[in-house]
Amino acid sequence: MDSPTPIPHRGLLAGLLAALAMLGPFCIDAIFPAFPAIARRFDAGAVAMQQTISVYLFAYAALSLFVGAMSDAWGRRAIILVGLVVFFAGTVGCALAPSMQALLMFRALQGMSAGIGMIVGRAIVRDCFEGPHAQKLMAQISLIFGLAPALAPVVGAWLVAWDGRPFAAPPAGLVGWHALFWALALFTLALIGLCLAVLPETHARDRRVAFLPGTLFANYRGIITDHQFVALALALTFNSAGFFVYIANAPTFVLGILKLDQNHFPWLFVPAISGLMLGALLTSRLAGRVPVRTLVGAGYVVMLGASLLNLVAAFAVQPARVPWTVLPIAIGAIGVNLVAPALNLLVLDRFPAYRGGASSVQAFLMLTFSALLAGVLGPLLARSAPSLAITSSAFYLIGLIGWRWYRHIARRIPEKIDGDAAVIAVAGANAD
Is residue 381 within 8 Å of 246, Cβ to Cβ? no
pLDDT at 419 over 50: no
Domain 10-198+210-430 class, CATH top level = mainly alpha
Percent helix, strand, coil in the chain, to 5, is 80, 0, 20
- For residues 340-366, give the mean pLDDT: 83
Which pLDDT score is estimated for 9? 63
Distance from C-alpha of 368 to C-alpha of 376, rounded to nearest angstrom: 11
DSSP helix/strand/coil, 287: strand
Mean pLDDT on 92-101:
93
Task: Give the model's pLDDT for residue 426.
Answer: 35
| Nearest C-alpha neighbor of 388 from the set 254, 195, 221, 236 | 254
Rounded distance between C-alpha atoms, residue 24 and residue 27, angstroms: 5
What is the longest distance spanned by two Cα atoms in the chain? 70
User: CA 201, CA 189: separation in Å to the nearest integer?
Assistant: 20
Distances (CA, A) of 116 to 23, 38, 58, 312, 318: 9, 27, 14, 39, 42
* Adjacent-strand bridge partners of 287: 290
Instruction: For residues 312 and 204, give the distance between their C-alpha atoms in angstroms, rounded to a whole number.
Output: 53
Q: Computed from CA positions of residues 293, 295, 297, 300, in that sequence, does the dihedral angle turn out positive or negative?
A: negative
Give per-residue pLDDT as tens, 158-201. 887 775 555 555 565 677 888 889 989 999 999 999 999 888 88
Domain edges within the chain: 10-198+210-430
Pairwise CA distance, residues 431 & 226, whole Å = 10
Nearest CA-CA partner of 342 in 138, 55, 204, 140? 138
pLDDT in the model for residue 333: 92
Q: What is the reported pTM? A: 0.70
